[in-house]
Structure 1
Amino acid sequence: MDQPTWHGLLFNAALLLGMSVLYDLFLLQGRGFSRLRQVVSGVILGVIGIAIITTAFPLIEGVIFDTRSVLLSVSGLFFGFLPTLLAAVITAAYRLYLGGGGALTGVIVIFTSALIGLLWRYLRRRALEQIAWWELYLFGWVVHLNMLVWMYSLPG
């Protein structure tokens, strides 16, 4: 790996760690998850999504790879509908602003990843504190396969 890619990977990991700090700050330490906390956390997650895209790994002009699918799927699983919707809209708007041949695919990955997280949360029907490692592993595979399927819609 060359140095800029290595730094981008580390920066993406640090931003995802920031999401877990936000979860701890707003959900675990707070008293409930009020509407204001949902909006604030959604906006912060959207800003993290923008930061992740700005440190992406460019493949070709207009086609970039990053960890936004991780951010938005985990947001859906742990933060719920409103924060995930806000984060997805903010992140998608920025991806569309950047443009390029992969913009539409990037936006589709954003919303399908968020949807996977939200559906997993809904279908789970057990407390998230009891989530097992194998379930998170399976969740990660489903999100990754979603992203790989949408890669076929990228330009040549």
Structure 2
Amino acid sequence: MTEKTEGTDSRLVKMIVFAVGEQEYCIPILSVREIRGFEKTTALPFAPHYVCGAINLRGVILTVIDLAVYLNIQPLADNPRRVVIIVESKNDTVCGLLVDRVIDMADIDLGDIQSVSEEGGSLNGLVLVNQRMIGVLRLETIVGQLVGDTVAE
């Protein structure tokens, strides 16, 4: 128990935990602007298959990514608890992530994240929180693919 040295609290990151299908995932809470109920989206022609459309957020048009489609997971059928998490990436790109439900917040020690084999993928690793296996998403990868796929010159 004395393995942790003084100052390791700085490695704790507050994460928002949400479900996509039966699996739980998390992203840093500082990336989250707000959480909104799911509303009908406007279809975007030629958008990637995982983009469910766009919404108007107080005069700003935002692209919404269906994380179930993006992660190739079966979403919960007829789920009234679906919400859109409005996120902002480090490069100031704002978009929405459609998830099945928000569960809670957790303090994640970055040293506890077990890396996964997919290099450069959207999953940073897995972490065990209260006997639950939670996937830690790379928000920059997900948003970067969206921007890269939808920007045409």
Shorter-chain TM-score range = under 0.3
Which structure's residues are more often strand, by fraction?
2
TM-score of the aligned structures, taking structure 2 as reference length: 0.26
Which structure's residues are more often helix, by fraction?
1
TM-score of the aligned structures, taking structure 1 as reference length: 0.26
